């Protein structure tokens, strides 16, 4: 196995263990998933039913995006076709089955600058995503470090049936975001479901996940005191574009 490939797998396992830490409660049992781009349309992803916190190399499945991405535009594609594509996308037919959420991982890993993806059901974020405040949480920011780690805004995807319908909705909303902000998002919020974070490095994915969860906890606390009180949009744009903050991002590998 080439050394760069081994390192990518090590990084993915490290990220998975951080996302699945029991004390954080963001992914219990078989919840959540993680993935990493390998190149040439291939990627590694957590096998269905595996635990992020205890993930091993044998619980990763190498997949190719070739059988998956065309489904997004295929009229009439149903559950049987999706199942067939998930079977066909495995590089080793003897490997474990990848999650149905492999579809949206394949899309995210096709975006420029996205090398790693993490998905959890972070508790504080999920509280807001199961409330009428989800849209406001996605579109506004509370403090500077949230801007640095999570971007100017998050993508919000209304609740959609998991599988191909959800993957299509994610692609549509993410493309709209990219047209507006001229780059891939750091955070994608799924109503009544969970959170996805993406980035060039495991550090970027973890930082966005932890900072979004912190922002949600602060939001919920501020709500008890008559808030939250948001940063003005002009300040969010200024923080996002500051040269010193970009230096800090590089230092933190995010």
Determine the pLDDT at residue 200. 97
Q: pTM of the predicted model, to two decimals?
A: 0.96
Q: Report the pLDDT averaged over residues 131-153.
A: 97
pLDDT tens-digit readout, 11-61: 999 999 999 999 999 999 999 999 999 988 999 999 999 999 999 999 999
Asked if residue 197 lies in contact with residue 205, where contact means CB atoms within 8 angstroms, the answer is yes
CATH of region 3-251, choose from 3.90.1110.10, 3.40.50.300, 2.60.40.10, 3.40.225.10: 3.40.225.10
pLDDT at 169 over 80: yes
Structure tokens belonging to residue 3: 């050394």
Domain extents for the chain?
3-251
Q: Report the pLDDT averaged over residues 224-244.
A: 95
Q: Reduced to 3 DSSP states, what percent helix, strand and coil does the chain have, rounded to the nearest 5?
A: 45, 15, 40
pLDDT tens-digit readout, 125-135: 999 999 999 99
Determine the pLDDT at residue 245. 85
Instruction: Give 81: exposed, middle or buried? Use CB within 10 Å, 0-12, 13-18, 19+.
Output: middle
Residue 102: name the closest of 45, 60, 159 by CA: 45
Asked if residue 33 lies in contact with residue 116, where contact means CB atoms within 8 angstroms, the answer is no
pLDDT tens-digit readout, 71-100: 999 998 999 999 999 999 999 999 999 999
């Amino acid at each position: 196995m080439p050394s760069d490939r081994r390192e990518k797998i090590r990084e993915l396992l490290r990220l998975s263990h951080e996302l699945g830490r029991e004390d954080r409660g963001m992914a219990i049992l078989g919840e959540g998933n993680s993935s990493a781009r390998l190149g040439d349309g291939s990627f590694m992803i957590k096998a269905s039913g595996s635990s992020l916190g205890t993930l091993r190399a044998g619980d990763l499945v190498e997949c190719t995006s070739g059988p998956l991405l065309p489904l997004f535009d295929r009229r009439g594609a149903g559950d049987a076709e999706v199942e067939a594509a998930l079977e066909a996308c495995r590089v080793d037919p003897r490997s474990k089955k990848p999650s149905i959420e492999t579809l949206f991982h394949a899309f995210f890993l096709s975006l420029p600058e996205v090398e790693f993806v993490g998905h959890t059901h972070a508790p504080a974020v999920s509280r807001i995503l199961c409330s009428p405040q989800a849209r406001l949480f996605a579109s506004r920011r509370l403090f500077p470090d949230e801007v640095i780690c999570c971007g100017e805004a998050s993508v919000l995807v209304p609740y959609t049936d998991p599988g191909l319908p959800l993957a299509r909705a994610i692609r549509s909303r993410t493309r709209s975001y990219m047209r507006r902000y001229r780059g891939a998002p750091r955070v994608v919020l799924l109503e009544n479901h969970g959170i996805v974070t993406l980035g060039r490095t495991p550090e970027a994915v973890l930082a966005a996940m932890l900072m979004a969860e912190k922002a949600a906890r602060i939001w919920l606390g501020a709500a008890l005191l008559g808030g939250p009180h948001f940063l003005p949009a002009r300040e969010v744009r200024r923080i996002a574009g500051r040269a010193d903050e970009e230096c800090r991002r590089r230092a933190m590998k995010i």
